[in-house]
Amino acid sequence: MDGIQTVPLTSSTRWRAAVPAILLLAPLLMIFCAGLLWPMGVLLLRSLTTAEGSLSLDLYTTILREPRYWRALANTTLLALASTAVALFICTPAALYIERRPGQVSRVLAIALTIPLSLPGIVIGFFVILLIGRTGLLPSVVLLIGGERMPAFAYTFWGLLIGYIYFQYRGCVDLTWCHRRI
Boundaries of domain holding 181: 66-182
Question: Is residue 2 a part of any domain in this protein?
Answer: no
Question: Is residue 1 a part of any domain in this protein?
Answer: no
CATH number at residue 174: 1.10.3720.10
Give me the DSSP letters along 101-170: S-SHHHHHHHHHHHGGGGS-HHHHHHHHHHHHSTTSHHHHHHHHHHSSPPP-GGGSHHHHHHHHHHHHHH
The domain total for the chain is 2
| The predicted structure's pLDDT at residue 81 | 93
| The predicted structure's pLDDT at residue 82 | 92
Q: Write out residues in the chain with pLDDT < 70, as ranges.
A: 1-15, 170-182
Report pLDDT digits (tens) over 38-77. Answer: 899 999 998 888 888 888 888 888 888 999 999 999 999 9
Final residue belonging to a domain, choices 17, 43, 65: 65
Question: Is residue 56 a part of any domain in this protein?
Answer: yes
- Based on the fold, state whether residues 123 and 153 are members of the same structural domain: yes
| The predicted structure's pLDDT at residue 9 | 57
